[in-house]
Amino acid sequence: MSKEIYLDGNATTCVLPAAIDAAVQAMRDCFGNPSSTHATGLKAKAMMDAVRQRAKRLLGVGNGRIMFNSGATEGIQTAVLSALCALRERRERGEAIGALLVYGATEHKAVPEALAHWNRLLGLGLELKKLPVDGDGRHDLAALRALAPQAAFVCTMAANNETGVVSDLVGIGATLAASKALWMVDCVQGLGKLPLDLGNTRIDYAPFSGHKLYAPKGIGMLYVREGAPYTPLVMGGGQEAGLRSGTENMAGIAALGAVLAALEEGGTFRSPSELHGFRDKLAASLRAAFPGIVFNAPLDKALPTTLNFSVPGLSSKELLDVFDAANVRVSAGSACSAAKAAPSYVLDAMGLPAWRSSSAVRMSFGPLASEEIINEACARIERCGMALRDAGLMDTPVSGAVVPEGVLQLSLAGNHTWLLLDEPSRQCIVIDHQAELGERIDSLLHSHGYKLAARLSTRDGGETDSFAFGAHAVRRVALDSTRSAYLLCSGDKVDYAFTGLAALSELAGKVPADALVCAGREEVNACCTSLRAEAQASKASTELNLDSIALARLLEAQPQAVLVDVRETYEQAACIPGGRAAESVPLSRLAAFVPGWLAAVDQPPLVFFCRSGNRSAKAAQCLRRLGYRNAYSLAGGVALAAPELALAA
């Protein structure tokens, strides 16, 4: 198995070895409660104080305060609660406070959610107002100038987590100079990547999170300007000078201290110019791998550790899958579900076209990156590009790749389009075309040299008719006056029936019992089935899902078992070669292979696997329903498979 390359640093990072050592030391040798007055407690307190002093120096907080907490979401809550409580008191005293809670349109969700929550709980009734950003993702200072006289509280960020766009904090500060509004800056993505001199700004609150810079999850800091209003979020034993009760997370503080020491002392992290060089290399490889790629934020206005991009014709899910297969971890720039990617509100706020916003991918690394890792990442990026091109997904002629033939399923938001591919004549029939798949189908056909022979719809009624398709025949059967099924026949035998949205119960007498029924929607059937199988479907007696241990046992007991990789061809091609032998049957092509498996006399165990176990479970269920008892799915997929299994990844 190839080494994982982790390029999702804006989501979280690994923990710096020195931070792990410091946390272990804090748990093993310096385990005291910093509130205890005996020597063990004093030692712990000294360690904590030293970390706080270091944080104060690094962040230039002047007379401001730094308190430790659980992370940025808590820091944001505390800042919002403090600001809103102060505003309520001022209003009760009869002071004018402004009517608006202003927040940047691209803030992390923790900010608007916290504003809405505390505004409601405290009964303030202030209006939440989004501050627009420009096409580069920077706050619109003219809009802020217009809002400033009415602003009670302003929330902006130092750098954006999706795009890496760095805010103009000096410009925002200047715009707010005459305003009485309180100001919070979410500095989560800025720590260790941007120079921060908080005491010399008019920023009132600045939350930080350890796990975005090589400290563990569950430790964070909040900066509060000297004189800024403060209300504790957590009351109790009065720890953190009464600002945040609860015994401190000493292991976390020690680990954060090690990271801050690395920042202050130098020598551990890469310099900004080295990081720029790394990003330029990654960007160059991405451009070479994905012709037409667009970067969603101007590189010169973003952190050197973040790239956000979209590739025409490719969804973020496809890109994530292919990168994951190559053992490169990146994330979707937008919230992405299996069915359909939701657009990114950050990219939407920047006014980018919908396709870019819904297909964006974020690649981010931290200042611990090395030349070696970046070079390997570049090589794998280029491999991923080649894999997608060879699969015919990028509308470039493919060479040497396997030409798909037979039946192919394309799914979008639960709807299935079926392609019938006759390899000898390079003719293709499309059944139940979906407009959004148009480009994908065109590039698939074009890349593999296929011609479109016909587009058929099961949503048409009409006479029963029949036409030749290569060595086969396609027969239309009217289901009623508005719906048809299409039968793909070899001589007198009906191999497949494409039945659109019709329920299986409507097909009796119209579709032969043993034909493979390929439905038009996931709810009717995920892959394929037959009327006979549905009539006989009984609960399988053996467990469908195998974990690594069960799979190893099965492979030992039944060496004739066949492993079947149901990831798409581009994922398989992106894997580093050298894994255990497996048959390649992408889930989209499963229906083409089912008849062969069902016809086999010996029916060896078939163990399907994929990235995470979803697609393989569909494949195994499909086979089991069709009466193939020995079909299994590797639970958790390649992601959780034991290395000893040596599955290609």
Residues 313-352 that bind ligand PLP (CB under 6 A): none
Instruction: List residues bridging with 474 in a β-sheet.
Output: 467, 488
In the residue annotation, 336 being an active-site residue is answered as yes
On whether the CB atoms of residues 531 and 508 are closer than 8 A, the answer is yes
With contacts defined by CB under 6 A, how many residues of the chain interact with ligand PLP?
12
Stretch of 69-77, 517-525, 537-545, 585-593 contacting ligand PLP, by CB under 6 A: 69-77
Q: How far is the CB of 113 from ligand PLP (least distance, A)?
A: 11
Between 163 and 447, CB nearer to ligand PLP: 163
Phi, psi angle pair for 361, to nearest 5°: -125, 140
Residue that has been written with the tokens 């710096």 in this structure: 16
Nearest to 446 by CA among 422, 426, 470: 426
Please give the Cα distance from 384 to 637 (Å, whole number): 20
Q: What is the DSSP string of 118-144?
A: HHHHTT--PEEEEEPB-TTS-B-HHHH
108 lies in the site for ligand PLP, by CB under 6 A: yes
Instruction: List strand residue ranges (DSSP E) for 286-426, in order.
Output: 294-295, 306-310, 328-329, 331-332, 361-364, 406-412, 415-422
Catalytic residue among 30, 187, 336, 622: 336
What token pair was written down for 225?
């300007």
Between 342 and 402, CB nearer to ligand PLP: 342
Residue that has been written with the tokens 């957590």 in this structure: 234
Between 160 and 179, CB nearer to ligand PLP: 160
Nearest to 496 by CA among 454, 537, 527: 527
Between 72 and 172, CB nearer to ligand PLP: 72
Chain centroid offset of residue 62 CA:
39
Stretch of 26-34, 71-79, 312-320, 400-408 contacting ligand PLP, by CB under 6 A: 71-79
Q: How far is the CB of 41 from ligand PLP (least distance, A)?
A: 28
On whether the CB atoms of residues 102 and 129 are closer than 8 A, the answer is yes
Ramachandran sector of residue 583 (left: φ over 0; alpha: ψ -120 to 50; beta: rest): beta
Q: How far is the CB of 478 from ligand PLP (least distance, A)?
A: 55
Q: For strands 631-634 and 606-609, give the pairing.
A: parallel
Residues 576-595 that bind ligand PLP (CB under 6 A): none
Q: How far is the CB of 188 from ligand PLP (least distance, A)?
A: 4
Between 331 and 499, CB nearer to ligand PLP: 331
Residues 196-215 that bind ligand PLP (CB under 6 A): 209
Q: For residue 109, how many C-alpha atoms fall within 13 Å in the half-sphere facing its CB?
A: 4
Between 186 and 432, CB nearer to ligand PLP: 186
Which of 15, 58, 110, 374 lies at the binding interface for ligand PLP (CB under 6 A)?
110
Stretch of 38-46, 70-78, 387-395, 481-489 contacting ligand PLP, by CB under 6 A: 70-78
What string marks each residue from 149 to 188 as x (binds ligand PLP by CB under 6 A) or -?
--------x---x------------------------x-x
Q: Which residues are known to be catalytic?
A: 336
Binding site for ligand PLP (CB under 6 A): 71-73, 108, 110, 157, 161, 186, 188-189, 209, 220
